[in-house]
Amino acid sequence: MSVQNTVGLKPSARRELVLSEDNLEDFARGAAFLGTGGGGDPYLGRLMAKNAIREFGSPRILGVDELSDDATVAFVAMIGAPTVLCEKGASGDDIDCAVQELSAQIGRPIDALMPGEIGGFNSTLPVVAAARLGLPLVDVDGMGRAFPSIAMVVMNFEGISACPFVLVDDHLNKVVVKADTAQRTEDISRSIAVQMGMSCLSAGYAMSGAEVKRATVHNTLSAALQIGEAIREGRKAGDPLKALIRVLETHPIYGFAQEVFSGKITDLRRETTKGFSVGNCRIEAFDGAGCMADVQFQNENLVVLVDGVVKAIVPDLIIIVDAETAEPIPTEALRYGQRVSVIAVAAPDALKTPQALAHVHPRCFGLDFEFTPIEVLAGAARA
């Protein structure tokens, strides 16, 4: 059901980004890459987005300059374990219900939607929501990657409340969380998600256009599409990894990337616990020299160690891709024997401020390491 609303939008001379059936595969692939192993199954998300676009048409994609300061924008996301989402998708009605309930809670219409994170299913889910509800989608997200917590977003770092925060399950049961902090909202919502079958739809962080402009990572939908296109074009040229790294090194959001390891997966530990998919992936080098890499993850990849030495760590991005095709591999799709490369990418600047690191420092994930940017680690290795 459409709830078309154009209040608070401004005309723009910006070249309009269009997401259609023709480029959804590129977009989903790029979003899966930025998802750093998490964010949910990109294939499932692409199928849902494709169906929504066929039925309702492509949603309009807005740049932040097209938002009036008094526009109302909200994020939509799946909360839970990506391993569960593979078997328990969204119906569409649950997405509509979450957004409509949030609108009722704040007492005003939602003018536009945005992704909470630009990763996997959680980047295509807002496309579905925007198409179904007849709302525009803003070319921003909350972190420029994926993280396992709704408190790990720039909006929270900048003091914007997550609440009211709406959770809806596949039976359209709904819960509205009103908590004093984003972390408390995360803890309560995670417990509810477990009771809702380890996966549910959410809507929250209702904010003004002015807040979107200062407290989100801009142009990340465009970035996902550019990354997906680079991988596709790189395959045609015979070197997708090189094409991928080239576009990331010159990108205004990221600006640095490198391959830190390549080899074959020889061991994999993964379990679903407390609403997260957690574990460790061990990779043995191709050259037979006995070098080993360990990638630890909590929904998303958190740290890569080569023979016990940190090569990249959160909040920088760590992505496991197919060694031949550069196809991003979500944590739930990792398998013994896969031949992979591990790519490290510099995090957006908004994730490296003191207020951001209070929420996304390695110790926030239980890792006993300091954060050292990938650029510094790479320089030390060369020295």
Condensed to tens digits (0 to 9), the pLDDT of residues 283-303 reads: 999 877 779 999 999 889 999
Q: In CATH, what number is assigned to the domain containing residue 64?
A: 3.40.1610.10
pLDDT at site 274: 64
Q: Is residue 375 part of a domain?
A: yes
Q: Is residue 161 part of a domain?
A: yes
Say if residue 96's pLDDT is above 80. yes
Predicted TM-score (pTM) above 0.85: yes
Q: Tell me phi and psi for residue 20, to 5 degrees.
A: -135, 180
Are 176 and 310 part of one and the same domain? no
Are 296 and 167 part of one and the same domain? no
Q: Is residue 18 part of a domain?
A: no
pLDDT band at 43 (very low <50, low <70, confident <90, very high): confident
Q: Is residue 279 part of a domain?
A: yes
Q: How far apart are CA 60 and CA 82, in angstroms?
A: 28
Q: Is residue 125 part of a domain?
A: yes
pLDDT at site 3: 39
Are 115 and 58 part of one and the same domain? yes
183 burial type by CB count under 10 A (0-12 exposed, 13-18 middle, 19+ buried): middle
Are 292 and 373 part of one and the same domain? yes
Domain count, the chain: 2
Are 102 and 52 part of one and the same domain? yes
Task: Lowest mean pLDDT of 47-56, 59-68, 193-202, 207-216, name the range.
Answer: 193-202
pLDDT band at 83 (very low <50, low <70, confident <90, very high): low
Averaged pLDDT, 323-331: 94
Averaged pLDDT, 356-367: 95
Mean of the per-residue pLDDT values of the chain: 90
Say if residue 15's pLDDT is above 60. no
pLDDT at site 275: 63
Averaged pLDDT, 9-33: 79
List the domain range (segments joined by +) for residue 65.
24-220
pLDDT band at 364 (very low <50, low <70, confident <90, very high): very high
Say if residue 16's pLDDT is above 80. no
Tens digits of residue pLDDT in 32-41: 999 998 876 7
Chain centroid offset of residue 203 CA: 15
Averaged pLDDT, 200-212: 96
3-class DSSP string for 197-229 = CCEEEEEEEEEEHHHHHHCCEECHHHHHHHHHH
Q: How far apart are CA 194 and CA 138, in angstroms?
A: 30
pLDDT at site 130: 96
Domain boundary among 220, 242, 268: 220
Q: Is residue 35 part of a domain?
A: yes
Domain boundary among 196, 220, 244: 220
Q: How far apart are CA 23 and CA 358, in angstroms?
A: 37
Are 158 and 44 part of one and the same domain? yes
Q: Is residue 232 part of a domain?
A: no
Are 354 and 207 part of one and the same domain? no
pLDDT at site 44: 81
Are 274 and 316 part of one and the same domain? yes
Are 75 and 197 part of one and the same domain? yes
Q: Is 265 helix (H, G, I), strand (E, B) or coil?
A: strand
Q: In CATH, what number is assigned to the domain containing residue 310?
A: 2.40.390
